[in-house]
Structure 1
């Protein structure tokens, strides 16, 4: 049985970059400049003596430089790992092996490299029980999107598609597209056609709600419906969320309306004849 050990580093660490690990003078100069650039705390600039805050643009580079020693020591012991910056998976065949490998990893990180392992975020699990890694939820043979990542994405979409705004929908679509493209691109290694279809339908509904709010009265809606061939007069609350999902509104503002606005189709990143996405060359 395959076991996974997941490790996440603490917020700050000190990195001593030297020419034994990095021989490129330009890279060293850039790193030194960024480490000495200081940080903004509560709107006040503060000088930095050592370390790099987590989340800074240079943190992943520093993590890769510093943790290369960990990679090499684990590899020398024949222990298989997958690491992205400071997110680490360790693989074993048995639970006993998993405990042994975890002890070795902690010893390297804390004794040899002077880092602190967060025991609360370190665990041994089976593939059947599942685990999260880089926004993916991996369980058995299934790979999906971590719920918190999906919630974060929807929160960003909501921020751009508030109903009570006067911004033209075409401009909103332009702001949405990079977000949709980035999300679909990141998760395209997973077969999530149904999830992406649901998200796209929800996004179109939010855009319809904005249009209804901007039309203000049913007069404009009924004019659009008549031009489209709808015969019955419609009377609904233009500022209500439920109105954006009615048959009449979907008829007045069909999916092709958003296609003509070039709303990015997240499902287009998948090939209809295969469960695997087609990657760009």
Structure 2
């Protein structure tokens, strides 16, 4: 970290972060020190482009938009924005003088959907700005040469394009999948090998040295222990995804050289072949390539030669049961179903103390985003989406039951909702807990599906809306 930065020697004067936003926007619109033409003509001066005022301003704006937690130093993005002009001036000076030193990385652990924990490395805000600035310069250099079957962490690509390409291979008759998962990939990237590969395209040694210093930044564990880093590119920083794609592009090019059909998203890759025998042979060959050439390990528990129905990829599962039909169904993976159920459980706690409407609002915000990701599901998923909707309604009814506290209060409440005395008594006085009462006829009549659909998102309905062409699109196709 630079000595007289806002982290190292703040003079105590703070300005409102919002006051600097116009300045940042104006500065970010300026031309960079070296545009694409200059970069091609003088590749030895990439650091000047990284450290240009406009590039750093754009980097800070991107870090602000992405928000994120503070690093080891505790500085927030709001504090960085409040000091933007001075912060960027010091950053520019220290980068050009090669005095910038990344701060330590804060290690945090987050639960994985399938169980266990995933380690993230959170750089401090200033380091994130520098990583973002480097990303903005290096990504245009590497992006055109990346393979088209690589979909993770790339502009205009993502899970949807990956699933679409995979579906195309399955429908073309490649219905055996070599399902590869790399073991602890982000923790095992070999630093020198990565830098050697980067040096084939990046001749500015100053940029390579900057990347090296960021890779070698020490990690501070949750207990405060400071650990030196010898390998890996920790998830959590803006530059890590690009570096991972640079490493695995060699794998992509090897698959392409062999004429294989594949889809890769980060450290998950599916190779599509026509027979199980071919899949077994390819799995053995790729294991040797990954271990000996890239120094990476296959996750043996998660990797195998599988039928499409057994593959869980990016939260989706493929359905190709009918060999006579080329069509491929897309539904939810088991892991995706468990994850959404767990989140619904967290958003509908038994002790919910606010109004039921506020609970439905929180659920709607989450479910809207969730179904946007899973809109690629085909009609085969309708039953599963309907089952999730029913589960949501039942949990909400259970909250309504618990909020009435006593059976007689629930009985009066149901009568007020025009439920017959018999049905109301059957729900209120059944002698069971709130979960059983939530599914009794008195409760389901008082709060039918239509009542919830008027007030919150229905996954099945929203999925149908997302997959129904707009009238304007239908007219265009007709013409």
Question: Is the TM value for this pair above 0.5?
Answer: yes
Please give the root-mean-square deviation of Cα atoms over the aligned residues, in Å: 3.5
Could you list the runs of 5+ residues in structure 1 that have no partner in the other structure? none
Ranked by relative contact order (alpha carbons within 8 Å, sequence separation 6 or more), the top structure is: 1
What is the Cα deviation at residue 118 of structure 1? 3.1
Alignment check: 8 A CA contact 1:7 1:122 kept: yes
Alignment check: 8 A CA contact 1:130 1:137 kept: yes
Does 2:302 match 1:121? yes
Does 2:326 match 1:145? no
What is the Cα deviation at residue 244 of structure 1? 0.6
What is the Cα deviation at residue 66 of structure 1? 1.0
More displaced 10-residue stretch of structure 1: 189-198 or 174-183: 174-183
User: Which residue does 2:467 correspond to in 1?
Assistant: 277
Say which of 291, 298, 314 aligns to 1:110. 291
Say which of 253, 256, 263 aligns to 1:75. 256
In 2, the alpha carbon distance for the partners of 1:148 and 1:200 equals 17
What is the Cα deviation at residue 9 of structure 1? 0.9
Q: For 1:157, what is the secondary structure of its paired residue? A: helix
Say which of 253, 257, 268 aligns to 2:461. 268
Alignment check: 8 A CA contact 1:3 1:98 kept: yes
In 1, the alpha carbon distance for the partners of 2:469 and 2:457 equals 17
Does 2:194 match 1:7? no
User: Which residue does 2:406 correspond to in 1?
Assistant: 217
What is the Cα deviation at residue 53 of structure 1? 6.6
In 1, the alpha carbon distance for the partners of 2:306 and 2:346 equals 36
Q: For 2:464, what is the secondary structure of its paired residue? A: coil
User: Which residue does 1:156 correspond to in 2?
Assistant: 343
Q: For 1:245, what is the secondary structure of its paired residue? A: coil
Q: For 1:216, what is the secondary structure of its paired residue? A: coil
Say which of 239, 254, 258 aligns to 2:448. 254
CA radius of gyration, larger in: 2
In 1, the alpha carbon distance for the partners of 2:448 and 2:348 equals 18
Q: For 2:264, what is the secondary structure of its paired residue? A: strand
User: CA distance change for structure 1 residues 219 and 49 in 2, over 3 Å: closer, same or farther?
Assistant: same
Equivalent residues, number: 275
In 2, the alpha carbon distance for the partners of 1:157 and 1:20 equals 48
Q: For 1:173, what is the secondary structure of its paired residue? A: helix
User: Which residue does 2:274 correspond to in 1?
Assistant: 93
More displaced 10-residue stretch of structure 1: 240-249 or 133-142: 133-142
In 1, the alpha carbon distance for the partners of 2:223 and 2:374 equals 35
TM-score computed with the length of structure 1 as normaliser: 0.80
Q: Deviations over 1:108-136 (max 9, x none)?
A: 31222121223443322344x63222222
User: Which residue does 1:51 correspond to in 2?
Assistant: 231
In 2, the alpha carbon distance for the partners of 1:212 and 1:253 equals 11
User: CA distance change for structure 1 residues 21 and 256 in 2, over 3 Å: closer, same or farther?
Assistant: farther
Could you list the runs of 5+ residues in structure 2 that have no partner in the other structure? 1-173, 321-327, 474-479
In 2, the alpha carbon distance for the partners of 1:34 and 1:174 equals 41
Alignment check: 8 A CA contact 1:81 1:91 kept: yes
What is the Cα deviation at residue 143 of structure 1? 3.1
In 1, the alpha carbon distance for the partners of 2:255 and 2:359 equals 48
What is the Cα deviation at residue 170 of structure 1? 2.4
What is the Cα deviation at residue 65 of structure 1? 2.1
In 2, the alpha carbon distance for the partners of 1:108 and 1:176 equals 46
Q: Which has the higher strand share?
A: 1
Does 2:362 match 1:169? no
